[in-house]
Amino acid sequence: MEKELLRLEGTVESLIFENQDTGYTVFELSGGGELFVVCGTVGEIHIGETVACTGTFETHPTYGRQFHAVTCETDIPRDVEAVYAYLSSGSLPYIGVATAKKILERFGADALDIIANDPAQLTAIRGLTADKAERISAEFRRMFGVRELIAYLARFDISAPRAVEVFKTFGPHAADAIGQNPYLLCGDPLHLSFAHADRIAAQLQLSADSSLRMGAALLYVLRHNANNGHTCLPRHKLTATTAAFIRQSEPALEQELDARLAAGELCRQEFDGQEYIYLPDLLSAEQDIAWRLAELMKHPAPQPNNLERNIDFLQLRQGFAYAALQREAICTALRERCLVLTGGPGTGKTTAINAILALFENQGDRVALCAPTGRAAKRLSELTGRKASTIHRLLEVDFSGGVVSFVHNEKNMLKCDVVILDEMSMVDVKLFQSLLAALRYSCRIIMVGDTDQLPSVGPGNILGEVIRSGVVPTVCLTEIFRQAAQSLIVANAHRIVQGQPLKKGGKTDDFFFLEAGGEVCQQLVCDLVCTRLPRSYGFDPVRDIQVLCPTKLGPTGTQALNARLQQLLNPPAPGKPQLEAAGSVFRAGDKVMQVRNNYDILWQRDGGEQGVGAYNGDIGIVLNVNPHDRSMTVQMDDRKLIYTSDHLSELEIAYAVTIHKSQGSEFPAVVLPAAEVPKKLCYRNLIYTGITRARQLCIVAGLRATVAEMTGNVRQNLRYSGLCSLLQREMADRPAPEQTS
C-alpha cells in the first residue's frame, strides 16, 4: 500500500548536498517552528527560498528522519529578510553581500520581481552594467524555470530527473515548447514512449490526425526500427506500419511524409527501383562509409618487396606453414588498402592477423589494433601480444562541446598506417563512420569478423553489406585446424552453420547438452551456476560463469533467471546496502551490465588514470552502494565507475544477459538455456553467437526440438540498409586505380 503524500512548507535554511546535473538535492527546511531535512530530485534550491514540498517521511539507517520530496514548488521570496537571504547567498552572479544590501535598500521586497521582469533597473546600482543585469536576470529565470518545469511535467507522470533533462535540451521555454508539441518528448533526450506522448497530447487536446502527431509517428517508427538494426525502411513499409500504429490513413501519412522530406527532416534514396526512407544522420553515415572506403581503395597501395620470401621466413620461424587461404589473406592485406577477413572459430584468423601484424611492423608501419568493446579489445591484445583499444578510446571521446564527438576526426587524423579492426560484425554505422573519418587516405584497414554471428546491436550490417557489395577484397577462411577441431565448442559451432544436430558431449569435452524444459530448466541453470560448475571446475559463479539467454521472457529468460540468481548468489543481508532503480534492486556484489553508450560517467583505473564513458555491453561488479545520494561504484575490468542517480537506469542486473548483449565478449564458461524460445528468435546465428562466446566450457540446457529448430532456421533477422548499393555506386563512379610497384 502506497504512503499518503504529505505537504511540507517553509524556508530553505541551508544546503547539505546538491548535484546540479541531476537536480538531486538535500537541504534543511524551516517551517512551523521545526527544522526538517528534505531530499529529492527537485532542481536547484537556494537559501532563503520559500518552498512547498509533497512527499513522505522516511527514516534512513544512517542519516535519520528525512522528508523524501516527490515535487517541490518554489515561490519567489516575498519579505525583505527572505529576499536578502536569497540575494546574499551567492546564488546569482555578480551579487555578493554588499551588492545584495544595495539592491534591498533601493528596491526592497520587490527586488526579485525587478530582477525577473525589468533587469534594466539594476543598472542604477553601482557596478552593475546592462550586460551584468541581463545575465543576473537570465540566471534567475533559469533557476526558477527548472522547478516550474518539474511541477508542470509532473502532471504528465514525467519524473523530476527526466524533467531536468528536458530543461537542459529546451531551456527556459521548455514548458511552452512541450505545450505546443508534446511529441518532442519522443525524441532526444527522453525517448518517451509514443503512447505516453499521445496521452499528454490528448490532455492538451491535440487532435489525433494533427500534422504534429503524424510526423512524430513517422520519426518514431524510423527510430524504433533503427534500434532494431535498420538504417532505413522501404517507403511503403514505413507508411503502412505507421498507419497501423496510430490508426490513421496511409494517404494522409504519405502526404505528411512528403512534407517531412521537403523540410529535410527525412531523406530518401532509391535502390533497385524501390524508394527507401532514412533518418538524415543514418543516411549520412552510410554515404560517408561508402565514400571513404571507395576513396581508400582509389589510392593504390605501395607494393611490398619480397613479400612471398618474407612469408616463407615467418613460416620457418614459427615452425608451421600457412594454409592456402591464410596465405592469400596475408598477401592481400599487404597489397591492398582494404581487406575483409572472415571465418568461424578454429579457422586460423588469429594466426593470419599475427602474420599480417608482423609483416607490417617489419616494414616500419604503425599499426593500430582495435575492437568495438573493451572485452573484445582485451582479447585481441591477449591474442596478438600487442596493445589493443576500443574504437572509442582509439578515437578519444571529446566531451567539451556538450555533444559526443571524437578528438580524432577528418581534421585531426590518426597517426597510423594500418588499422586492424576485430569483431567487425558488431560495429554499427555511426561508429564506423567516425573511425573512417579519422583515417588518412594513405592508411590501410583490415576488417576482421565472423559473418555467421549476429549483426551489430546498433543500426547497420556493415560486414554483411561490404561483403555483399563485392567491391572490397575479401578472404573467407574455411579450414578448421586440427587442434581447434578437438574442441566440441568449435565443432558444434560449425555443425550449426552446416545445419547439423549438436553433439551432446561427454566428461572430457568442453561442451555438454542437458535436456530440460520450463521450470525444471530454470532450476538446472541455477544449479549449474551456483553449485555444480564451481564445485567441478573451480569457476567463480559471478565472475567466470555467464548465462546467455535467447530471450528476456519466460522461466528461462533473463528477467526470471536474474531474479532467481540474484537471490541465490547475492541475497539481501543486514548491513548490505541496496537501492532500487528502473525496476531493479542493486546490491553491493551484484553483477551488472551497461545497456547503452554513455559518455559522461566518470571512471578511474586501478593505476590512477581517470576518464569518462561506459559503453553498451560493458559488464562489472557493484563495489558499493550509497542509498543516501542514490549512487553506486562499479568495477568494470580495470576501471571503477561512479554511477549517480540519473545513470542508474542504464544498468541492468547481469547474471543472465541476452545473447544479443554478449556480442564481442568471451567468458570462461557459458550456460545457454534453450527451452521456451519464441518463434521469432529461433534462428541459427543466435544460438551460434551464444555458443561461440564460451572460451573453456559451454553447456546448453534445453529441449532438443528447440535447439533443432534454431539450428535448422537459416533465416537471419532482415536488416534494411543501403550500404551495399551506395558502395557499388561510389566504386562505379571512380576510374580503376593505377597500380604502383
**pLDDT at 741 (0 to 100):** 41
Sign (positive/negative) of CA torsion 222, 225, 226, 231?
A: negative
Are 74 and 144 within 8 A, CB to CB? yes
Helices of type H across 470-545: 482-485, 488-497, 518-527, 533-537
Q: Which of 216, 230, 196 is nearest to 266 (CA)?
A: 216
Helices of type H across 461-574: 462-469, 482-485, 488-497, 518-527, 533-537, 558-569
Report pTM: 0.79
Are 27 and 45 within 8 A, CB to CB? yes
Q: Give me the sheet containing 444-449, strands edge to edge.
A: 388-390, 367-371, 418-421, 444-449, 338-343, 474-477
Show the 3-state SS of 380-441.
HHHHHCCCEEEHHHHHCEECCCCCCEECCECCECCCCCEEEECCHHHCCHHHHHHHHHCCCC
- Count CB neighbours of 735 within 10 A: 6
Are 42 and 150 within 8 A, CB to CB? yes
CA distance 411 to 285: 17
- Count CB neighbours of 516 within 10 A: 18
CA distance 447 to 305: 23
List Cα–Cα distances, 386 to 3, 368, 420, 421, 658, in angstroms. Answer: 58, 9, 12, 13, 31
DSSP codes of every residue in 363-383: TT--EEEEESSHHHHHHHHHH
Q: Which residues contact 23 (CB under 8 A, 6 or more apart)?
A: 41, 42, 43, 44, 146, 150, 160, 161, 163, 164
Q: Which of 480, 481, 449 is nearest to 464 (CA)?
A: 449
**pLDDT at 740 (0 to 100):** 46
CA distance 690 to 345: 13
Are 80 and 107 within 8 A, CB to CB? no
Question: The cell 555533444 sits on which residue?
Answer: 403
Q: What DSSP state is assigned to residue 530? A: I
How remote is the C-alpha of 546 from its chain's centroid? 20
Backbone angles phi, psi at 426, to 5 degrees: -105, 15
List Cα–Cα distances, 602 to 161, 264, 311, 399, 613, in angstroms. Answer: 19, 37, 45, 12, 7
Are 622 and 566 within 8 A, CB to CB? no
**pLDDT at 377 (0 to 100):** 86
For the chain, residues with pLDDT lower than 70 are 1-3, 20-23, 60-63, 75-78, 147, 160-161, 189, 399-403, 482-485, 715-717, 734-741
How remote is the C-alpha of 373 from its chain's centroid? 11
Q: What DSSP state is assigned to residue 110? A: G
CA distance 688 to 675: 16
Q: Which residues contact 686 (CB under 8 A, 6 or more apart)?
A: 454, 550, 659, 660, 710
Exposure pattern of 201-215 as b/e (b: 16+ CB <10 Å)?
beeeebeeeeebbbb
**pLDDT at 61 (0 to 100):** 64
Q: What DSSP state is assigned to residue 78? A: -
Helices of type H across 181-269: 194-203, 211-227, 235-246, 250-262
**pLDDT at 327 (0 to 100):** 92
